[in-house]
Amino acid sequence: MNHPQTTTNQVLRKVRYEIRGELAQRAHELELQGYEIVQLNIGNPGLFGYRTPETMRLAMIENLGSSEAYCHQKGIFPAREAVVMQQQHRGVLDVTAEDVFIGNGVSELIDLSLRALLNPEDEVLIPSPDYPLWTASVSLNQAKPVYYNCKPENGFQPDPGEIASLITPRTRAIVVINPNNPTGAVYKRELLEAIAGLAEKHRLVLFSDEIYDQMLYGEAVHVPMATLVKDSLCVTLSGLSKVYRACGYRVGWAVVSGDRENAREYIHAMEMLASLRLCANVPGQWAVQTALGGVQSIEQLTAPGGRLYESRQAIIDGVENSRFMTMVEPEGAMYGFPGVDPELIADFDDQAFALKLLEQQHILVTPGSSFNVPYKNHFRLTTLPRPGKYQRVFEQIEECLASMTGG
């Protein structure tokens, strides 16, 4: 029996993060035994040889002498001003540096922005599937995540009518993840306008997670949510981790726009919480201005012939050649989210499959149920390895699936 001093926070029972959970721990144990694990569970570009643009590294080095003191709680001015310039270029014209919060990655800012807003039993509308940090942060702040479905049969697009039906007097916010993680769905303007209209009608905060905003394929177009929300508050979140392949820099930003006049108390609460953690990592902030103002090398990686594009295509081809799997082609981000046909493998369980794939084939993927969906026949894998790696990976996945049918 645990002593009272060592019992844990009860809220943690509602929190899951399988991306770095028990499967990842088992993969580490196997590595310690000498096995080489193909880690397809997490979007970590540096793990696969991607480099942060050299100009960003140089900007950090040149400003190390100015990085030893705490900075302003919202971040250094050049970084915040660079975010403002990007927002204005995208059509969000009424923001200033005072509307920008720099954080230790988007992860910290998700928790900070929700903590400033939520009271116990408040509700937040979250997409299913979601990036599980959103669910975790809502739960940790003693509020209730309420899911709106983004169904595979609908191309993982949400239904504004369903979102509207879920709004109650306790609803405080709507979360949109676009481009979506884990599905790669990119939302059309008309759909985003409908969601923005719901936020404005019911005076809800709209959180727009746009960390993959420039990671687009084919004809996909990213529409910034802040350009559509005028009569309610919009909080746009993005950062350096994915588009600029700088996960370890831990630099993200939140931009408040729209109706700030009626959100003064909330914004003040965000400022107080930013002050309590003193400031974000200062050296990494010096890379922001160079990143946002320089050549956008991500465009070469996502264009035909680019590494991300070709790896995505290798996943599409691998699924198409499978007798067990189907997949909605991802239009953005750096993941595939295949589904296994339950008629071909009865009682398929994504957790059991992921563990078997790891133990037998030494491939680590993330079960789809980790992303808070009501079904258990999907899994997520990243597009980060080189394209040639996937042929063998899909052969091994197919072997594992076949073994689950007995043939």
In the chain, what are the domain boundaries? Answer: 4-51+300-403, 54-293
Identify the DSSP state of 250: -
User: Are the C-beta atoms of residues 164 and 198 closer than 8 Å to each other?
Assistant: yes
Contact present, 70 and 279 (Cβ < 8 Å): yes
At 293, list the tokens: 């103002």
CB 297 within 8 A of CB 91: no
| Residue whose C-alpha is closest to residue 280's, from 55, 86, 83, 49 | 83
How far CA 123 is from CA of 108, 192, 289, in Å, comes to 20, 20, 36
Instruction: State the virtual CA torsion across 50, 55, 56, 61 in degrees, nearest 10.
Output: 120
3.40.1440.60, 3.90.1150.10, 3.30.360.10, 3.90.1300.10: which CATH number matches 4-51+300-403?
3.90.1150.10
Task: Give the per-residue pLDDT at 318.
Answer: 96
Structure confidence at residue 405 (pLDDT): 85
Q: How far apart are CA 316 and CA 328, in angstroms?
A: 9
| Residue 1: count of CB within 10 angstroms of its CB | 4
Amino acid 16: pLDDT: 61
Rounded CA-CA distance 390/75 in Å is 41
Exposed/middle/buried for residue 127 (C-beta within 10 Å: 0-12, 13-18, 19+) = buried
Across 91-123, b (16+ Cβ under 10 Å) vs e yields ebeebebebbbbbbbbbbbbbbbbbbbbeeebb
Single-letter amino acid, residue 154: N
Length of the chain: 407
Query: Do 21 and 146 contact (CB within 8 A), yes or no?
Result: no
**What architecture (CATH level 2) is domain 54-293?**
3-Layer(aba) Sandwich (3.40)
Cis peptide before 129 (omega within 30 of 0): yes
Note the pLDDT of residue 21.
74
**Inter-axis angle of helices 389-403 and 307-320, nearest 10:** 30
**Per-residue pLDDT of the chain in tens (407 residues, 90 and over written 9):** 556 665 666 666 666 656 567 888 899 999 999 999 999 998 899 989 999 999 999 999 999 999 999 999 999 999 999 999 999 999 999 899 999 999 999 999 999 999 999 999 999 999 999 999 999 999 999 999 999 999 999 999 999 999 999 999 999 999 999 999 999 999 999 999 999 999 999 999 999 999 999 999 999 999 999 999 999 999 999 999 999 999 999 999 999 999 999 999 999 999 999 999 999 999 999 999 999 998 899 999 999 999 999 999 999 999 999 999 999 999 999 999 999 998 999 889 999 999 999 999 999 999 999 999 999 999 999 999 999 999 999 999 999 999 998 65
Determine the Cα–Cα distance for residues 97 and 257; give it in Å rounded to an integer. 11
What is the token pair recorded at 205? 């905060």
Question: What are the structure tokens assigned to 180, written together?
Answer: 């979506």
Rg (CA), the chain: 21
Return d(Cα 393, Cα 390) in angstroms, integer. 5
CB-CB contact of 256 with 21 (8 Å): no
Report d(CA 74, CA 280) in Å as an integer.
Answer: 8
Q: What is the DSSP string of 109-163?
A: HHHHHHHTT--TT-EEEEEES--HHHHHHHHHTT-EEEEEEB-GGGTT-B-HHHH
As a whole number of angstroms, the distance between CA 330 and CA 218 comes to 10
Topology agreement, domain 4-51+300-403 and domain 54-293: no
